[in-house]
């Protein structure tokens, strides 16, 4: 879980997720333009890391701690940590993987202090036998990884690789400074190899590498340590990538007016369902109602109407013309368009089938709908052949693909999507001018203007049919209540996962039904409303 530093100044800033280079620029501006010396940042970083590490391993002071250091400022943080523990009488020692002669600046200054206070330092000699030196690290009860941080710039090889792999083979907790060594801070990909940390203390802001797969497997428990980067520097960085949690969304939910009524709390129209797929339509409608929409109407193929009248209570149904496979027919277009006048959102897709007539109906709706549309499931596949058609919309579009549907939309493989989730989502959103919700572990919400939100809620129990339908309805519900499409998508995505978290808290990692989370949705909304104070 992502834990916040104690002093959260600006919630939006506290939710920023940065790349290595964005962080490096903020460090440099803080030091060179604002005038906070690097050693002060280094001291703050190490002291924050020390207190977090002591929280994670309370008996740390009783352990033989080895700081394994590289050659840059990540090592510098490690040297300060060694000094902190040494000053508390902890049997700490330092193993330098590079000659101290290569150290410079703040790292060298802190290394020289270690020498003066007689902290035991061992300098690894690559010319000597590995096993004869390995005991310096092996004889540890805890290891602090200060080898590489955001300065990683190539694949880890040679002695660094051997030592990192060796550390990973020990059954000793490894506490990472800033980023597990070897993990690319900007992507979450290990470059050759990476430390599998028990916990990571990172500085100022979480990095993409901490939260995007497989980064969390290496990061372990994460704490963001506030080291005093001035908010003027963070704001000037104009980062538009955020971690989505209650902090980030707090204040987004507009208070309900006392005189609100079902006629002015948003009317969601839904086009979903075909023979054998009536459950999807049901879940969309219920998701939309549960986030607070005033009214929900489901367009349903005529012969299925009696079924949906039984399955739905709060939502109304509007029987429409159907094809020979009981899916929505093209002939339904005029009635649907006429009904949409004065409605605030149209959700389309789950279970409607790929019947040619249904495809033509959906394409016509994208061109002519008077209200924003949320496209999911079959509606996404319909556009996979020709995503350019999405540009014909005169209203905002929100697309909610899972990786397989995303792959079809970009004519590539799901593996290619998963290899670069942020890049694929951002590029598709920008190119077609749509809000793109790329579902999966750490669902992403991308906007054409470059905004990107990474979802922090949700759990593996959500891997079950119907979850996406519920989400589609929730997002449509927030659009219908007047939230800007990016915000509506963020609220839907975060609350959807948080509702699943609430329901499954302490239960299991499986067995969750999409309908189970419906009752939890207002409880999550309630906690966000109370957060807003």
Contacts with K ion, residue ranges (CB under 5 A): 145, 149, 176-177, 181
Determine whether 254 is exposed, middle or buried from the number of CB atoms within 10 Å of its CB (0-12, 13-18, 19+): exposed
45 binds, among K ion, ligand LP7C6HRI, none (CB under 5 to 8 A by kind): ligand LP7C6HRI
CA dihedral (428, 350, 495, 291) positive or negative? positive
**What backbone torsions phi and psi does residue 92 show, to the nearest 5 degrees?**
-100, 150
Paired strand residues for 346: 269, 373
494 is an interface residue for ligand LP7C6HRI by CB under 6 A = no
Distance CA 470, CA 341 (A): 24
Distance CA 146, CA 127 (A): 22
Q: Rank residues 221 and 451 by Cβ distance to K ion and give the closer one.
A: 221
43 is an interface residue for ligand LP7C6HRI by CB under 6 A = no
**Residue appearing with tokens 């005169």:** 394
322 binds, among K ion, ligand LP7C6HRI, none (CB under 5 to 8 A by kind): none
Report, in Å, the least distance between residue 242 CB and K ion: 24
77 binds, among ligand LP7C6HRI, K ion, none (CB under 5 to 8 A by kind): ligand LP7C6HRI
**What backbone torsions phi and psi does residue 144 show, to the nearest 5 degrees?**
-105, 120
CA–CA distance from 323 to each of 34, 194, 204, 279, 336 (Å)?
A: 67, 55, 57, 19, 16
501 binds, among ligand LP7C6HRI, K ion, none (CB under 5 to 8 A by kind): none
The site that binds ligand LP7C6HRI (CB under 6 A) totals a number of residues, namely 29
Report, in Å, the least distance between residue 393 CB and ligand LP7C6HRI: 42
Report, in Å, the least distance between residue 76 CB and ligand LP7C6HRI: 5
Which residues does 125 contact at the CB level (< 8 Å), separation at least 6? 133
71 is an interface residue for ligand LP7C6HRI by CB under 6 A = yes
Residues at the annotated binding site for (6S)-NADPHX? 149-155, 160, 178, 280, 351, 402, 469
Report, in Å, the least distance between residue 65 CB and ligand LP7C6HRI: 17
Report, in Å, the least distance between residue 219 CB and K ion: 11
Determine whether 422 is exposed, middle or buried from the number of CB atoms within 10 Å of its CB (0-12, 13-18, 19+): buried
Q: Rank residues 177 and 512 by Cβ distance to K ion and give the closer one.
A: 177
Report, in Å, the least distance between residue 141 CB and K ion: 19
**Residue appearing with tokens 């208070």:** 255
Cα-atom radius of gyration of the chain, to the nearest Å? Answer: 27
Which residues does 180 contact at the CB level (< 8 Å), separation at least 6? 145, 174, 194, 195, 196, 197, 200, 218, 219, 220
**What backbone torsions phi and psi does residue 225 show, to the nearest 5 degrees?**
-95, 125
Residues at the annotated binding site for AMP? 439-443, 468
Segment near ligand LP7C6HRI (CB under 6 A), from 39-47, 82-90, 279-287, 330-338?
39-47
Residues 74 to 93: which contact ligand LP7C6HRI by CB under 6 A?
Answer: 74-77
Paired strand residues for 96: 69, 123
Q: Rank residues 152 and 424 by Cβ distance to K ion and give the closer one.
A: 152
Q: Rank residues 34 and 463 by Cβ distance to ligand LP7C6HRI and give the closer one.
A: 34
Q: Which residue in 110, 140, 150, 187 binds ligand LP7C6HRI (CB under 6 A)?
A: 150
Q: Rank residues 177 and 281 by Cβ distance to K ion and give the closer one.
A: 177
Q: Which residue in 52, 85, 160, 299 binds ligand LP7C6HRI (CB under 6 A)?
A: 160
Name which of 430, 402, 526 is nearest 486 in CA terms: 430
**Binding mask 216-255 vs ligand LP7C6HRI (x if CB under 6 A, - otherwise)?**
-----------x----------------------------
Residues at the annotated binding site? 74, 145, 149-155, 160, 178, 181, 280, 351, 402, 439-443, 468-469
Name which of 390, 374, 379 is nearest 432 in CA terms: 390
Q: Rank residues 75 and 345 by Cβ distance to ligand LP7C6HRI and give the closer one.
A: 75
Q: Rank residues 225 and 281 by Cβ distance to ligand LP7C6HRI and give the closer one.
A: 225
Q: Rank residues 148 and 518 by Cβ distance to ligand LP7C6HRI and give the closer one.
A: 148
Segment near ligand LP7C6HRI (CB under 6 A), from 72-80, 243-251, 424-432, 435-443?
72-80
Token pair in block for residue 190: 């290990």
Which residues does 32 contact at the CB level (< 8 Å), separation at least 6? none
145 binds, among K ion, ligand LP7C6HRI, none (CB under 5 to 8 A by kind): K ion
Distance CA 459, CA 510 (A): 9
3-state helix, strand, coil in the chain (%, to 5): 45, 15, 35
Task: Examine residue 69 and say whether the peptide bond preceding it is cis (omega within 30 degrees of 0).
Answer: no
CA–CA distance from 431 to each of 11, 111, 239, 419, 438 (Å)?
A: 30, 50, 20, 19, 15
**Residue appearing with tokens 């707090």:** 250
* Cβ atoms 478, 458 nearer than 8 A: no
Q: Rank residues 77 and 376 by Cβ distance to K ion and give the closer one.
A: 77
Q: Which residues bind ligand LP7C6HRI (CB under 6 A)?
A: 23, 27, 41-42, 45, 70-77, 148-156, 160, 177-179, 203-204, 227
């Amino acid at each position: 879980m992502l834990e916040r530093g104690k002093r959260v100044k600006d919630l939006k800033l506290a939710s920023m997720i940065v790349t290595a280079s964005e962080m490096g620029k903020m460090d440099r501006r803080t030091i060179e333009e604002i005038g906070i010396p690097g050693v002060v940042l280094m001291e703050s970083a190490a002291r924050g890391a020390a207190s977090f590490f002591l929280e994670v391993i309370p008996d740390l002071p009783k352990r033989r701690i080895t700081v394994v250091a590289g050659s840059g400022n990540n090592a510098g943080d490690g040297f300060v940590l060694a000094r902190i523990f040494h000053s508390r009488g902890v049997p700490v020692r330092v193993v330098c993987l590079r000659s101290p002669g290569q150290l410079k600046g703040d790292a060298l200054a802190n290394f020289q202090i270690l020498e003066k206070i007689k902290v035991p330092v061992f300098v690894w000699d690559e010319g000597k036998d590995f096993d004869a030196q390995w005991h310096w690290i092996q004889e540890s009860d805890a290891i602090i990884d200060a080898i590489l941080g955001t300065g990683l710039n190539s694949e880890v090889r040679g002695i660094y690789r051997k030592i990192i792999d060796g550390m990973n083979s020990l059954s000793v907790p490894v506490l990472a400074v800033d980023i597990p060594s070897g993990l690319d801070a900007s992507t979450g990909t290990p470059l050759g190899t990476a430390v599998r940390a028990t916990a990571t203390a990172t500085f100022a802001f979480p990095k993409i590498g901490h939260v995007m797969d497989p980064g969390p497997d290496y990061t372990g428990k994460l704490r963001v340590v506030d080291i005093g980067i001035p908010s003027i520097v963070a704001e000037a960085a104009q980062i538009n990538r955020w971690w989505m949690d209650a902090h980030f969304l707090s204040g987004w939910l507009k208070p309900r007016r006392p005189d609100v009524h079902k006629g002015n709390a948003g009317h969601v129209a839904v086009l979903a369902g075909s023979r054998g797929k009536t459950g999807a339509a049901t879940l969309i409608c219920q998701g939309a109602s549960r986030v607070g929409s005033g009214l929900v109407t489901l367009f349903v193929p005529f012969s299925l109407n009696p079924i949906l009248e039984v399955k739905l209570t709060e939502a109304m149904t509007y029987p429409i013309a159907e094809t020979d496979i009981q899916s929505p027919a093209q002939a339904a277009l005029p009635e649907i368009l006429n009904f949409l006048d004065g409605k605030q959102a149209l959700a389309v897709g789950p279970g409607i089938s790929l019947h040619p007539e249904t495809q033509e109906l959906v394409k016509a709706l994208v061109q002519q709908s008077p209200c924003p549309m949320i496209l999911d499931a079959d509606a996404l596949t319909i556009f996979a052949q020709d995503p350019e058609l999405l540009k014909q919309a005169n209203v905002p579009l929100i697309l909610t693909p899972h990786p397989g549907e995303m792959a079809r939309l970009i004519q590539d493989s799901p593996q290619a999507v998963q290899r670069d989730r942020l890049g694929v989502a951002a590029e598709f959103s920008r190119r077609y001018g749509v809000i793109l919700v790329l579902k999966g572990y750490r669902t992403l919400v991308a906007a054409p203007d470059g905004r990107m939100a990474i979802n922090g809620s949700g759990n593996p129990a959500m891997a079950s049919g119907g979850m996406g339908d519920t989400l589609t309805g929730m997002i449509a519900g927030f659009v219908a209540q007047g939230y800007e499409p990016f915000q509506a998508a963020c609220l839907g995505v975060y609350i959807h996962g948080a509702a699943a978290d609430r329901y499954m808290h302490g239960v299991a990692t499986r067995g969750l039904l999409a309908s189970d989370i419906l009752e939890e949705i207002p409880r999550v909304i309630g906690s966000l409303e109370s957060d807003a104070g």
